Amino acid sequence: MKNSLRLQLQRLAMRLIELDAHLADPQVTSDMTRYRGIAREQSEVAAVVGRFQRYEQREADRAAAREMLADAAGDAELAAMAREEIASCDAELERLLAELQTSLLPQDPDDRRNAFLEIRAGTGGEESALFAADLARMYLRFCERQGWRSEVMSESASDLGGYKELVLRIEGDGAYGQLKFESGGHRVQRVPQTESQGRVHTSACTVAVMPEPDEAAEVAINPAELRIDTFRASGAGGQHVNKTDSAIRITHLPTGIVAECQDDRSQHRNRAKAMAVLVARLRDKERAERDAKEAATRKSLVGSGDRSDRIRTYNFPQGRLTDHRINLTLYKLGAIIDGELGDVIAALKSAQAQAQLAALEGSA
């Protein structure tokens, strides 16, 4: 282990002592917001420090085994035991070192947040809208597997049952951190329902994933910069059709960013939800502008996050999914479309971690 890494871990051990002291302080326990923040940090730091302590223990075990081997002259059984212990220590130390390096990588503070997920049909007309519906089902089934809650914030249906645009709110611990790599252009190659001659067509959708803003730290928006329109929500008919203008559309005039919500019968609740989407989109715009400046000096391994990027291809005739950012190809498209995104997300997270490690080593 490099000395710089060991020093970082030793500082974390000191930080854990401080956090334990804070959690025992009555002034902290009386402020639940502060207490929860410190408790979360303490839990994360304790996990890393515990791993570091195990690493140091195995270092000591290896040193003792090497001494045993040096003193085992003429005792073949003792020497074999020492070599076995050294090999065991080496293997565990290598694993622990990789885990410790990963645990010290910079974390996105938004990773634990809920997420807004937007899907928009692109090139390909009605087939693109049908593909948007397939993507929506894929994400909704993935969310079900994670035990997350999802709700439709707004939707614009196509004539054949697809979506021209769909906005979902995903509620669950770590939702944004799991789904953020989905932002970008998604391309599909298949024979569309609208194709009568069996030819394979290519169409595309764009996906954008944004962290839900913290209500306690919302961005300041000048009410004079907003235009709020009400309209009658569309529906499938029957008793649930809106008889009043309860749907809300909010336009941020300086940027032209629009958010709307019509899924609730209450105009007040629709307004609150539309405002949350608007704030998320404004923050996403700020994040994209910040990322664009950083990308001028270095490009992330998993892409710039620009929604115009083609990040993934879904080839139905071959049963193939290819993520172009990390050259990942999987021949289990049916399972992935059914919501089994775990392997894809894990590969993208691993690629990001490797890129961060390489950057840290390069700057060390």
List, as own/partner pairs, every contact residues 174-178 make where C-beta atoms lie below 8 angstroms and the sequence separation is at least 24, other chains included: 174/111, 174/112, 175/113, 175/114, 175/115, 175/143, 175/146, 175/148, 176/110, 176/111, 176/112, 176/113, 176/114, 176/115, 176/209, 176/210, 176/211, 176/212, 177/108, 177/110, 177/111, 177/112, 178/146, 178/345
Sheet of strand 226-231: strand arrangement: 226-231, 247-252, 257-261
Backbone angles phi, psi at 178, to 5 degrees: -80, -35
Cβ atoms of 312 and 328 within 8 Å: the answer is no
The CATH classification number of 3-103 equals 1.20.58
- Grouped pLDDT means (10 residues each) for the chain, 364 residues: 85 93 90 87 91 94 93 87 94 90 80 90 87 95 95 87 91 92 92 77 90 66 83 54 68 87 78 84 79 52 51 95 94 95 92 78 58
- Give tens-digit pLDDT for 81-92: 999 999 999 999
In the chain, list all ranges with CATH 3.30.70.1660: 115-211+268-354
Q: What is the pLDDT of residue 160?
A: 85
Identify whether the C-beta of residue 167 lies closer than 8 Å to the C-beta of residue 117. yes
pLDDT at site 291:
67
pLDDT digits over 81-138, tens only? Answer: 999 999 999 999 999 988 888 888 777 778 888 999 999 998 878 889 999 999 999 9
The domain over range 115-211+268-354 is classified in CATH as 3.30.70.1660: yes
Give me the amino acid identity at 71: D
Q: Across-strand partners of 249? A: 229, 260
First and final C-alpha spacing in the chain: 13
**CATH 1.20.58 boundaries in the chain:** 3-103
